[in-house]
Amino acid sequence: MKTFSLFPKNYGFFPYVFLFYLFLPVFYIWQETGWMKWFGYFLILLFAISYRQMYWYTRSFLAWFILSLAIIFILAVFYDPFNIYLGFFQSNFVGWHPEKKYFTRLYTLFAGVIVLALLSAVLRSYFNGENISHFLFNFPFLIVLFAAPFGIRSLNRQMELEKKLEEANEKIRTLIKREERERIARDLHDTLGHTLSMITLQSQLVQKFIDKDNKRAKEAAGDIEKTSRSALRQMRELVSTMRTTTIMEELSQMERILAAADILLHQKGMTDFNSIPLLKQNIIAMCLREAATNVVKHSRAKNCTVEMTIANGKIVVKVEDDGIGFPDSLQEGNGLRGMRERLALIEGELFISKGRKAKIMMTIPYLIKGQKDEVAL
């Protein structure tokens, strides 16, 4: 069932703000008497309805637009000249049209009615013997009224261009990721495929000579070790050329994610991560991302602290929040298991403190950049 909505939800609270400006013409009408007062109230109601209808951009938009201009003309000429500033309602709609031809037509109609209403109000005041000098003091506001549609149109065009630019950038990022995956697949096939085939062949030789010729079996086993070390070096070289996320980049992203959930991020400890190899930075960053996701989804926290230090030859990363904590009956889901698996790739470990104030600690062997980064086999 379709629910009633006064204004389209995508405009937020903005359309409701303009409704407060209707109190000024209501005040002018309140000073009238007899049928003029009630007719004025009817015009204000009709104006409010037309204002609401124009937000929905139906086929009758032009009819509602003309009707609202006619109401402004009547209120400005026969009630109070200051009612002409109801035109700010219409200037908003005029500026929304991106098509120059349609914008020009609406603006010409809008400006023509406002000028005609202003001249009629001035002449009516003049022939009634009223002082018309106060119209001069309102001249700057009239300039703003006539210039507003151009400013709104320019702002909307800029927002539209920014939206298109963001969409184009998103497409570029998608293409880059796709190209990166294809490159990694090619490199894995070209660099590691041959090496792994050699390991398979050498393993078959070990099985063949294990019972017949121990010496040749040992030589084949030694070849497997050399080949596997070569494969490990190739893998690390391949990983080092991949697009990686640094710890600093992930901390900035983590801050934005937590802020969206009204959670404040506090960072302690290290601020310079350049000495940490990119492979380890990338894995730590992915673990921090998963930790932030858990905090947002489950913690009900207001504060989250990330502390990173180096102690006893290990990188220690602590993520703690002031939420409801981990229950004693916690069963690790895919997220925590994934963190353990990632950390295992770099000989890291994951520790979880249950109870109040959830705390996750990761420890990773620290290796100074430039030092030999190879697992001993």
- What is the per-residue pLDDT across 206-227, written as a single tens digit (0 to 9) for each? 777 777 777 777 777 777 777 7
Confidence grade of residue 192 (pLDDT, cut at 50, 70, 90): low
Task: Give the bridge partners for 334, in sequence order.
Answer: none
Instruction: Enumerate the CATH 3.30.565.10 domain ranges in the chain, comma separated.
Output: 247-365
CA 187 to mean position of chain CA atoms: 34
User: What does the pLDDT look like over 322-372, one tens digit per residue?
Assistant: 888 877 666 777 778 888 888 888 889 999 887 677 889 999 998 644 444
Average pLDDT, the chain: 78
Q: What is the pLDDT of residues 258-309, one digit of tens each?
A: 887 888 999 999 888 888 887 788 889 888 988 888 888 878 888 999 999 9
User: Which long-range contacts does 338-344 make (Cβ < 8 Å, 24+ apart)?
Assistant: 338/290, 339/287, 339/290, 339/291, 342/283, 342/286, 342/287, 343/283, 343/287
pLDDT band at 7 (very low <50, low <70, confident <90, very high): confident
- Topology at the third CATH level for domain 247-365: Heat Shock Protein 90 (3.30.565)
pLDDT at 305: 93
List Cα–Cα distances, 35 to 22, 32, 75, 109, in angstroms. Answer: 20, 9, 14, 30
pLDDT mean over 132-142: 70
* Cβ density class 50-84: b for 16+ within 10 Å, e for less: bbebbbeeeeebeebbebbbbbbbebbbbbbbbbb
pLDDT for res 266 = 93
